[in-house]
């Protein structure tokens, strides 16, 4: 819907309100990157839903939470949009923080099929990834710590499965208590020209974790932790 701008008083009124603005209102200092897309949907959950939909719902929830607190974020794609990994990373240039949002699975040997969907009790919880190839690695790691601490304070627990010494995992743990792993070659992290994190918010092949991941209470905890992380990143 377009808003008619014929009333002559409105621009003046808006300008008067902006006298109270502390800076450029709602400048995009942060990027949220909902992982995957409709055409590349990511992991399938134990209920048969696809990861990209969980990523979109979480990104939308966080974006609304932040907008209500005057923290404006840019999204790398719209819910129906397609974008390459390198183009996602390009949106990070000059920003305070790039945060890619994903939902997790586990290696095939731990998965059983239930009603045609992949399910597993192997892992549950969140994981945070950083890349030492990111030009702002130390700032990324500092932000990862703030995010992990906020998630732990809210009662969330990290998953240990990415640190296991098996094919497909074997990620170096930088902080087991906070759930922070090193993953140097993640394209969106290493190419981002800003501090950058990737959050696996929950393990959606785990039936209990999938129920949690779909709840408003869980998304709110993550949104509040992201808010604290962005306020920290702003000062770096
Ligand atoms: Zn993913």
Spell out the per-residue pLDDT of the chain, length 236, in tens. Answer: 333 333 333 333 333 333 333 444 456 899 999 999 999 999 999 999 999 999 999 999 999 999 999 999 999 999 989 999 999 999 999 999 999 999 999 999 999 999 999 999 999 999 999 999 999 999 999 999 999 999 999 999 999 999 999 999 999 999 999 999 999 999 999 999 999 999 999 999 999 999 999 999 999 999 999 999 999 999 99
**Residue 18 forms part of a structural domain:** no
Quote the number of domains for the chain: 1
**Residue 20 forms part of a structural domain:** no
CA of 102 to the centre of ligand 1 (A): 4
226, 80, 211: which is closest to 154 by C-alpha? 226
**Residue 4 forms part of a structural domain:** no
CA of 189 to the centre of ligand 1 (A): 13
Kind of pairing between the strands at 180-182 and 196-203: unpaired
213, 154, 198, 216: which is closest to 31 by C-alpha? 198
**Cβ-Cβ contacts under 8 Å for 193 (sequence gap 6 or more):** 89, 92, 93, 94, 135, 136
pTM over 0.85: yes
Polymer length of the chain? 236
**Residue 21 forms part of a structural domain:** no
**Residue 6 forms part of a structural domain:** no
CA of 37 to the centre of ligand 1 (A): 10
CA of 234 to the centre of ligand 1 (A): 26
Q: Which two tokens stand for residue 193?
A: 């020209």
**Residue 139 forms part of a structural domain:** yes
Residue-range definition of the domain harbouring residue 84: 26-234
CA of 106 to the centre of ligand 1 (A): 11
CA of 231 to the centre of ligand 1 (A): 25
Q: Kindly report the CATH number assigned to the domain that includes residue 188.
A: 3.40.630.40
């Amino acid at each position: 819907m377009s808003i008619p701008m014929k009333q002559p008083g409105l621009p003046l009124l808006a300008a008067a309100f902006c006298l109270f603005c502390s800076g450029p209102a709602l400048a995009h200092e942060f990027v949220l990157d909902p992982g995957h897309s409709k055409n590349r949907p990511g992991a399938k959950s134990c209920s048969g839903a696809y990861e990209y939909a969980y990523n979109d719902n979480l990104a939308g929830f966080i974006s609304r939470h932040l907008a209500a607190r005057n923290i404006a974020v840019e999204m790398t794609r719209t819910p129906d949009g397609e974008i390459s990994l390198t183009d996602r990373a390009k949106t990070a240039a000059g920003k305070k923080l790039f945060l890619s949002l994903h939902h997790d699975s586990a290696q095939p040997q731990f998965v059983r099929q239930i009603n045609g969907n992949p399910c597993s009790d192997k892992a549950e919880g969140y994981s945070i990834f950083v890349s030492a190839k990111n030009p702002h690695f130390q700032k990324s790691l500092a932000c990862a710590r703030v995010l992990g601490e906020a998630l732990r304070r809210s009662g969330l627990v990290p998953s240990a499965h990415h640190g296991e010494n098996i094919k497909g995992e074997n990620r170096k743990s930088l902080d087991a208590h906070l759930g922070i792993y090193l993953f140097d070659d993640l394209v969106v992290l290493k190419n981002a020209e800003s501090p950058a994190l990737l959050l696996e918010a929950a393990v959606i092949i785990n039936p209990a974790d999938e129920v949690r991941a779909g709840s408003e209470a869980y998304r709110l905890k993550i949104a509040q932790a992201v808010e604290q992380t962005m306020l920290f990143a702003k000062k770096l």
